[in-house]
Structure 1
Amino acid sequence: MSKTYETERLIIKFVDLDDAEFLLKLVNTEKWLKNIGDRNIHNIEDAENYVREKNLPQIERLGFGNAVVILKENNTKIGTVGLYDREGIDGVDIGFAFLEEYEGKGYAYESAKKVMDIGINDFGIKKVSAITLPENFSSIKLIEKLGLSFKEVVRIPNDDADLNLYELNL
């Protein structure tokens, strides 16, 4: 579970309890709350529970899941990227979120492409999906750059938002 991956500029490692403070900051940013939703994580204990209950079980079960993206140059945590086994989604859902000051620099593409390649080559994933709000144009641009195509508007269980579903069959 402590496996890490690298790209030219980034280190990608699966989340663990040591990432709780960073996740607390990330999930309470304006863009996360607007585009992903409130996860009711308001203190370190909430963040640790989120890692323990939501992230670690999937990583233990499937070998992949939510990962923290870290800049090689200064070891700064800048975002998350991962492949998720999400209820209501056919295939593995790719997701990403970055602190605003690290957007627009290619980090999301670089890390998401690496995670997709790992999923395909190391875990034999045959279908990658992505969901996003129809108005989240920056996510849509990245999803399409990763090679996914719009399929339909969907709703996932326990969520009343209409979401664009994108897919890539391998």
Structure 2
Amino acid sequence: MIVLTTPRLEMRPIEREEWPLFLKLYQNDNVMKFIGDIETPAQIRYRFDQRLGKWDKYSDFWLCLVIRERATGEAIGLTGFFPDWRPYQQAEVGFMLLPEYQGKGYGQESLHEVVNYAFKICGFHRLQANVLEGNLPSRRLLERCGFRLEGTLRESYRIGGEWHNDWLLGLLRSDIATT
């Protein structure tokens, strides 16, 4: 089983009993503001079910890790990545935190450990993140973890019936030695 730890956090693959956390995150307007439209509980359940199961770097679904505070055991968010191992050895990273845990460094702490796992254990060559233009806190978090802005994808994402630009950020395994 995958277990990632930091001084304050522990991250493990999501399990069926964590459905309430998943639903709470995906129904929270503040969390979803830069991620996507609020879906029906049935649509959210479908997303949740897609992330269950034994994961490896060849999987065709998200490695979805529940972020917990080590001191309290409280579940505070999700992080992970979607692999594209064959043939690219790349993955897209993502993270979501409950609003009351944002701005406390948990996102950066958890992402740093996810990046280490992706490069050192899984052997990925490149990680990327798409961030809705205007979501400066997420962009800054990624940049603090070594990601670099690679460009803007014009009108590449639709939220609330409107098209939005995405910032594309990337990190190469070779960048880690220089960050």
Shorter-chain TM-score: what band? 0.7 to 0.9
- Answering whether residue 86 of structure 2 is matched by residue 83 of structure 1, we say no
Cα offsets for 1:77-96 (capped at 9, x unmatched): 1011111237xxx7311111
Pick from 52, 59, 70: which aligns with 2:55? 59
* Structure 2 residue ranges without an equivalent (≥5): 174-179
Q: 2:102 maps to what in 1? A: 103
- Kept in 1: contact 2:4–2:11 (CA 8 A): yes
Specify the code of the residue in structure 2 equivalent to 1:68.
V
Secondary structure, counterpart of 1:62 in structure 2: coil
1:138–1:127 Cα change, 3 Å: same
- Kept in 1: contact 2:157–2:165 (CA 8 A): no
Cα distance in 1 between the residues matched to 2:55 and 2:154: 25
- Answering whether residue 162 of structure 2 is matched by residue 164 of structure 1, we say no
Q: How far off is 1:41 after superposition?
A: 4.1
Secondary structure, counterpart of 1:161 in structure 2: strand
Specify the code of the residue in structure 2 equivalent to 1:113.
H
Cα distance in 2 between the residues matched to 1:108 and 1:158: 23
Q: How far off is 1:143 after superposition?
A: 0.8
* Structure 1 residue ranges without an equivalent (≥5): none
- Answering whether residue 30 of structure 2 is matched by residue 31 of structure 1, we say yes
Cα distance in 1 between the residues matched to 2:138 and 2:123: 25
1:61–1:158 Cα change, 3 Å: farther
Larger Rg: 2
Q: How far off is 1:62 after superposition?
A: 3.1
1:114–1:5 Cα change, 3 Å: same
Q: Which has the higher helix share?
A: 1
The 5 A counterparts of 1:63-142 are 65-85=63-83, 91-142=90-141
Q: What's the % identity of the aligned pairs?
A: 23
Q: How far off is 1:46 after superposition?
A: 4.9
1:19–1:99 Cα change, 3 Å: same
Cα distance in 2 between the residues matched to 1:52 and 1:114: 24
Q: 2:3 maps to what in 1? A: 4
Let me know the Cα RMSD of the aligned residues: 2.5
Task: Tell me the TM-score normalized by structure 2.
Answer: 0.80
Cα offsets for 1:40-81 (capped at 9, x unmatched): 242xx654432222x136835636711110011111110111
Secondary structure, counterpart of 2:129 in structure 1: strand
Specify the code of the residue in structure 2 equivalent to 1:141.
R
Secondary structure, counterpart of 2:11 in structure 1: strand
1:95–1:25 Cα change, 3 Å: same
